Each structure stands twice: as C-alpha cells, then as structure tokens.
Chains A and B, each alone.
Chain A
Amino acid sequence: MDNRTYSELVLLGTYDERLEYLMLEGVELSSPRAMSQSFYKSKQWKAIRESIIKRDFGCEIGILGIYIYGPIYVHHMNPITEVDIDNNDPKLYDPENLISVSLNTHNIIHYRTIAPEPYVERSAGDTKLW
C-alpha cells in the first residue's frame, strides 16, 4: 500500500489500528546517508517537521494524550526514495504524508522489532522458576 494519508489515519481511533495502518513490513530505511542527511538538515524539512509536531501536539501517531517520551520522529507514511530526495518531490513535505512517532513506534513500523506479547493466563505457582 502506497497511498496512506493523514486524513484516513485520524479516522482510526486506537493506537493499534493506526499502527496497523502504518506498517511497512520489509520496507527499510534505504536512502544513502549522504543524501538523506543533507535533506534532513535542510531548512525546508526542519520547518515542516516542526509544524507537523505542533499539529500532532507532539503525541504518538497523532493520538492526543499519548505523549512521546524521548526524541520525536516525523515519519513519512509512504516511504520516500533517493529519486524523491533528488527531485525534491512534494511528498517529502506533504503534511498528508507525515506523522509524529516515537523511536519505538518508528522501529515497529519499519522493522516490527517488538512483537505483541501473547496473553498468558495466570495460575497459582506460576512465579516459580522450576
């Protein structure tokens, strides 16, 4: 799926629903560092980044009330490529393509590093190691 939008995202109520919507299974961060570093240091990017964080109140996936502790990442919902950066494609700065996330959520979106833990029914004596 390469047509995720902020307008569609905010219609989803819960963190899990929004995370599922944003999942990029197998799509890793791929643009070369030399290229992406200059992009992420550009004035245009810094300005849009700040406006997106303000729009989202600095909250996780735009859910008001779920604060981000630590650095705030502004994530491109539809992955960008070297060609996009080279051409200064409008989707780099499109607010419909951007959302504030935490590092943890960003890693889950790209790499799914944390699998949801299955629910385990508690039982008497389950704290014993052996």
Chain B
Amino acid sequence: MPESILETIRGAVSLDEKDNSFDTELLLHINSALSILNQNGVGNPIIVSGIEATWADFKNPSQLQTDYMFESAKLYIFAKVKILFDPPPPSTGTFMQASIDEILWRLRESYDLSIVKEEIE
C-alpha cells in the first residue's frame, strides 16, 4: 500500500494509483473525511492537496496507544470517499452507511475516550 493518502484512495476506488483525472473530486471527499476524523479525536489536523501528504503526516505520535485502530481510520476514509465518489445502489447504501457510522463510533471510543481517561488519571 502506498504511503501517500491520495494514491491509496485512488487505488481503493479502483483508479490507477498514478491517474490524477479525478483528483479534484477525490481531494474534496478525502479532506472532508479527514476533518470528521480529526473532530472525533483521530490524528493530526491536515489538509491533503496532492500526493505529498502521507499517512504518517496524519498519524499523531501522541496516540500510539491507539495505533492498532489506525487501519480502521484508513478504512473509514476509503468508505466515506467511495460512497460519495461512486454511490452504491440503495440496497447496499443503507448497510454501507451503517458500517461507516459504526467505524466512526469505534474510532471515537478508542481515540477520544483514551484522551478523556488520560485527563482523568
């Protein structure tokens, strides 16, 4: 898997990793998903504007204890982009949206609550 966020998402939505034809639309969706994650306590606040931004830039070193959940953050971004970029049929869309909501809930439980626990301790 490439380290670049944009290239990863290009590949995940079935485009060639080097194909930049749909970058304008993809970047909008990626940045929207990243901001939602960040508001829920996941990762660093970053804006992706090209292939230079990597997953390492998004990963917050102070959240090492929740590192095991980082792959779910990638999955959330992919699913969120996919549902906007290439909408599924209604029968699938309902379940896909439910999965996305569940991933976000789990991420918030892991990242946001771990911060709260640390503050209490």
Contact = CB atoms under 8 A, between A and B. Distances in A.
B96 A57 contact: yes
Interface in B78-110: 78-79, 82, 86, 88-89, 91-96, 98-99, 102
At the interface, is chain B mostly helix, strand, loop or mixed?
helix
B12 interface: yes
A58 B78 contact: no
Contacts of B78: 64
Interface string A52-77: 01110111000011011111100000
Interface residues of A, number: 15
B98 A54 contact: yes
Given A53-B95, A64-B78, A64-B82, A58 B12 contact: no
Residue from the set B82, B95, B99 with the largest chain A CB neighbour count within 10 Å? B95
A72 B91 contact: yes
Interface of A: 50, 53-55, 57-59, 64-65, 67-72
Given A65-B13, A68-B89, 8 more contacts: A57-B79, A58-B91, A59-B92, A65-B12, A68-B92, A69-B91, A72-B92, A72-B95
